[in-house]
A and B are shown apart, each in its own frame.
Chain A
Amino acid sequence: SQQGEEDPQALSIQEGENATMNCSYKTSINNLQWYRQNSGRGLVHLILIRSNEREKHSGRLRVTLDTSKKSSSLLITASRAADTASYFCARRTGGGNKLTFGTGTQLKVEL
């Protein structure tokens, strides 16, 4: 079963609005990564935040991490129709190398 969840499961917004997606997890992490998946480009890495970091930015993306609450959020500012996709958080835990993915948030950005 998946270790953690994203919420909401689905999100529909208008172009230009901001989109916020949340990710919760259950065990300690080394890092947390966000990926985007759409039919055109497959699964693509967006941003990585380490366990000792609290916030990270990349272009229109802002990721926060609260290890005390075991949660992370991904904010997409000034959304575009091209941002329509499923967004997954993935955790690297312990000494392992695998990523544990959540169930994803389906984002739809409407014109």
Chain B
Amino acid sequence: GAGVSQSPSNKVTEKGKDVELRCDPISGHTALYWYRQSLGQGLEFLIYFQGNSAPDKSGLPSDRFSAERTGGSVSTLTIQRTQQEDSAVYLCASSPGQGIGEQFFGPGTRLTVL
């Protein structure tokens, strides 16, 4: 079946602009996660959704970052007034149930802020 998909695959933007990143999880997966990976680094947790609610937003680095999930499916990560340090690969993952096991990752969105 289809895996996690993300769009766009690449995004180049100018400092100060807003960007929206989209994630389509695996159908039926109730848990959805956003991570960020800077060049040569591991993954940094941003936010976790269970259904449409976000019980853990602890990883969002600033109030410029927000995310929502609708219909228990698609999620959008929005970064307002982008800064150069926001440049990274943004990865989305989903898992069934309460997400205690394996997470299935999408291919990521590479964001470059000029």
Contacts and interface: CB of A to CB of B under 8 A. Distances in A.
A98 B59 contact: yes
B56 A31 contact: no
A97 interface: yes
Interface string A89-102: 01010001111111
A45 interface: yes
- Which residue, of B41, B58, B103, has the highest number of chain A Cβ atoms within 10 A? B103
Nearest to B6: A42
Contacts of B50: 97
A99 B104 CA distance: 12
Interface residues on A, range: 20 to 34
- Which residue, of B31, B42, B45, B93, has the highest number of chain A Cβ atoms within 10 A? B42
Q: Is the interface of A mostly helix, strand, loop or mixed?
A: strand
B39 interface: no
Contacts of B1: none
Contacts of A35: 105
6 contacts: A2-B41, A2-B44, A31-B101, A35-B105, A97-B55, A98-B56
Interface of B: 31, 33, 35, 41-45, 48, 50, 55-56, 58-59, 91, 93, 98-108
